[in-house]
């Protein structure tokens, strides 16, 4: 919880938009995928945040990568997930969720 | 001597410190940030508080709900609707349960533990998690209003089929004994 608090406060909206701007391409998408995977933000904050980042110049594909991994991939909650399932299932589920997010991002990239 | 006596009186204190060393460490980091940059520190604290609040407000009701369902819903019912041979019913149940949800994914884990206890099929349980992370209704409304209908529709149209596909693949590649141990673990421990 506190880890997210710290990282979100340090990264200003301007920095985020520069990293994942509409022109940032695959690099920006990779940054967004990683950022979404390792952070944990209340879901009702996720989309207002995504919309705000779009307004600040972030690209649709990058935001798609960010919000989808934010909700589906949980690196922070992996220890909890392993406790409820086992290492094999939890790791595979997170990898598959990352793949689904990448597919979704590519479709958004092509269509929007 | 004195510390030994303290340990004898509070046997838990050193293990407590060890258990929460990350939380304590991060709290110190936030305090350090606050003293170097007030606004960033305040924001870090605010976000941490709102995340913790969300967790504290969602987890206890879910634990209670899971406990009640554990007693009320017989294993046979879950096997019939989400078990090995439930077919389309299982997929629809996972869609319904995952969409009716609210909250972050970690709130769903106690529910998946319950489904495992009641012998639901692993692929459907994994699909339920996929649905939860894509189209839970309250958040879907947020997504439509903030990101637009097209974005949301693509998210659901791409996310759901691929989550279903990967859920089945994970179940298929998983060794039999690993899957069996999942069910046995869930049966032994209450969620």
Q: Quick one: pLDDT at residue A2? A: 61
Q: Quick one: pLDDT at residue B41? A: 79
Residue B33 lies in a domain: no
Residue range A78-91: mean pLDDT, rounded: 92
Torsion from C-alpha of A97, B174, B126, A102, nearest 10 degrees? 10
Q: What percent of chain A has pLDDT over 90?
A: 54
The CA distance from B44 to the nearest CA of chain A, in Å, is: 4
Residue ranges making up the domain that contains B90: 57-188
Q: Do B162 and A6 touch (CB under 8 A)?
A: no
Residue B156 lies in a domain: yes
Statement: residue A1 has pLDDT above 60: no
CB nearest to B158's CB, from A74, A81, A104:
A104
Q: Quick one: pLDDT at residue A3? A: 60
Surface-to-core class of residue B4, CB atoms within 10 Å of its CB (0-12 exposed, 13-18 middle, 19+ buried) = exposed
pLDDT band at A11 (very low <50, low <70, confident <90, very high): low
Residue B13 lies in a domain: no
Residue B91 lies in a domain: yes
Q: How far is CA B92 from CA B41, B73, B160, B164, in A?
A: 46, 18, 12, 11
Q: Quick one: pLDDT at residue B18? A: 80
Q: Do A104 and B154 touch (CB under 8 A)?
A: yes
Distance between CA atoms of A50 and A96, rounded to whole angstroms?
Answer: 23
The CA distance from B30 to the nearest CA of chain A, in Å, is: 7
Strand partners, A58: A21
**Total of domains in chain B:** 1
pTM of structure? 0.83
Residue B106 lies in a domain: yes
Per-residue pLDDT in tens (0 to 9) along chain B, 191 residues: 444 444 445 557 788 888 788 788 888 888 888 888 887 778 778 877 877 888 888 888 888 888 888 888 888 888 888 999 898 999 999 999 999 877 888 889 999 999 999 999 999 999 999 999 998 888 888 899 999 999 999 999 999 999 999 999 999 999 988 899 899 988 887 54
Residue range A72-82: mean pLDDT, rounded: 91
pLDDT band at A6 (very low <50, low <70, confident <90, very high): low
Residue B4 lies in a domain: no
The CA distance from B75 to the nearest CA of chain A, in Å, is: 19
Q: Do B174 and A88 touch (CB under 8 A)?
A: yes
Torsion from C-alpha of B82, B87, B91, B93, nearest 10 degrees? -40
What ipTM was predicted for this assembly? 0.88
- B147 interaction partners in chain A (CB closer than 8 Å): 47, 50-51, 54, 63, 67
């Amino acid at each position: 919880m506190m880890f997210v608090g710290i990282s979100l406060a340090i990264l200003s909206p301007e920095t985020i938009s520069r990293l994942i701007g509409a022109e940032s391409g695959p690099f920006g998408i990779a940054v967004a995928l990683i950022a979404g995977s390792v952070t944990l933000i209340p879901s009702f904050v996720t989309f207002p945040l995504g919309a705000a980042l779009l307004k600040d110049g972030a690209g649709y594909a990058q935001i798609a990568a960010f919000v989808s991994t934010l909700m589906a991939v949980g690196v922070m909650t992996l220890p909890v997930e392993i406790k409820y399932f086992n290492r094999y299932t939890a790791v595979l589920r997170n990898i598959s969720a990352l793949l689904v997010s990448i597919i979704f991002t590519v479709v958004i990239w092509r269509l929007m | 001597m004195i510390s030994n006596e303290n340990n004898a009186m509070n046997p838990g204190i050193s293990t407590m410190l060890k258990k929460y060393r990350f939380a304590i460490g991060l709290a110190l980091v936030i305090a350090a940030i606050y003293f170097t940059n007030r606004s960033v520190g305040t924001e870090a604290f605010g976000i941490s508080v709102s995340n913790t609040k969300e967790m504290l407000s969602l987890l206890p009701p879910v634990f209670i709900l899971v406990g009640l369902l554990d007693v009320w819903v017989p294993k046979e019912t879950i096997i019939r609707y989400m078990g090995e041979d439930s077919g389309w019913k299982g997929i629809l149940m996972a869609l319904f349960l995952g969409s009716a949800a609210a909250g972050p994914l970690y709130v769903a884990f106690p529910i998946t533990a319950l489904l495992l206890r009641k012998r639901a099929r692993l692929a459907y349980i994994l699909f339920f998690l996929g649905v939860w992370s894509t189209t839970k209704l309250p958040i879907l409304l947020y997504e439509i209003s903030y990101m637009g209908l097209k974005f949301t529709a693509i998210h659901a149209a791409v996310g759901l089929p691929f989550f279903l596909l990967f859920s089945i693949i994970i179940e298929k590649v998983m060794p039999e004994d690993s899957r069996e141990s999942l069910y046995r673990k869930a049966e032994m421990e209450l969620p």
